[in-house]
């Protein structure tokens, strides 16, 4: 039922810099220069496999002694990343970082580590980026999401509270509540969710968070309270309909609960099928 904060830092930052950061290629031969231009064109068309093949030919015929030549490693690493060949991407980006202090390369490597599931290494790179951009909200959001995924909720709260000094929106406050929820402090989480809903009663996602917590605590009347209020705001919210089915069948209101579960399952909530099997076979 958990929905961790998602990273919002646009990876287009990497791609945009990748295409514009080389302004001089005087150290390339004409043949190599043409291959790089062709590869850049293929990459702009999202033909990453084709671009990869050309960048590889350049790397094989170059000593990579100049910054311009070495930057082809970065471009090939990006291709590997988009093709989900994360180990190859890491090899190239590490070779490139050995030759430069380019922070764009650190950004790309952080995404590569994310693809590899190496959250501690990813956090090290994000921390390095944040040291150079301490007030960058996108970096704080990204780091908070990684910390939450790594179950480092106290550290995530620290970043979320910094974000809330500028962004007081219900999404950010809801994420703060989630850190307490996941950190086995449901009372603190509900206090935050209730504050969000008092200020933003239209924010359906907070009803989802609060209902999920109440269901996990087996407080089914409380869950139904959040669910019904949430459905007033968003009658088609399939998650809330699913949760309502759970709360009702657990409260021995089987017929009504099974109708909700069947509706949620028909709308694509596969988890509702298990509850239907458990509670609803043979129920009209």
List pLDDT tens digits, range 107-143: 999 999 999 999 999 999 999 999 988 888 999 999 9
Mind listing the pLDDT tens digit for each residue in 155-174?
999 999 999 999 989 999 99
- Please determine, for residue 154, whether its predicted confidence score (pLDDT) is greater than 70: yes
Tell which residue, 174, 250, 236, has the closest CA to residue 210: 174
Asked if 249 and 279 count as a contact pair (C-beta separation under 8 A), the reply is: yes
Q: What value does the mean pLDDT of the chain take? A: 87
Find the mean pLDDT for residues 95-114: 93
């Amino acid at each position: 039922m958990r929905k961790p904060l998602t990273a919002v830092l646009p990876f287009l930052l990497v791609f945009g810099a990748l295409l514009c950061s080389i302004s001089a290629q005087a150290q390339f031969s004409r043949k190599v220069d043409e291959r790089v231009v062709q590869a850049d064109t293929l990459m702009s068309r999202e033909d990453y496999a084709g671009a990869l093949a050309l960048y590889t030919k350049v790397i094989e015929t170059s000593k990579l002694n100049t910054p311009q030549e070495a930057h082809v490693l970065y471009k090939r690493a990006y291709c590997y990343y988009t093709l989900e060949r994360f180990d190859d991407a890491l090899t190239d980006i590490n070779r490139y970082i050995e030759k430069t202090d380019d922070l764009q390369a650190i950004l790309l490597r952080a995404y590569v580590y994310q693809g590899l599931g190496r959250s501690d290494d990813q956090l090290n790179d994000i921390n390095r980026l944040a040291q150079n951009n301490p007030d960058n909200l996108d970096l704080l959001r990204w780091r908070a999401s990684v910390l939450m995924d790594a179950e480092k909720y106290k550290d995530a709260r620290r970043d979320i509270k910094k974000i809330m000094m500028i962004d007081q929106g219900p999404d950010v406050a809801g994420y703060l509540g989630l850190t307490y929820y996941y950190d086995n402090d449901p009372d603190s989480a509900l206090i935050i969710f209730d504050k969000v809903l008092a200020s933003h009663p239209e924010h359906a996602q907070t009803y989802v968070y609060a209902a999920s917590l109440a269901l996990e605590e087996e407080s089914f009347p409380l869950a139904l309270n959040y669910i019904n209020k949430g459905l007033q705001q968003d009658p088609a919210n399939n998650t809330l309909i699913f949760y309502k089915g759970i709360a009702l069948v657990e409260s021995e209101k089987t017929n009504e609960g099974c109708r909700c579960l069947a509706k949620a399952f028909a709308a694509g909530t596969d988890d509702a099928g298990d509850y239907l099997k458990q509670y609803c076979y043979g129920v009209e």
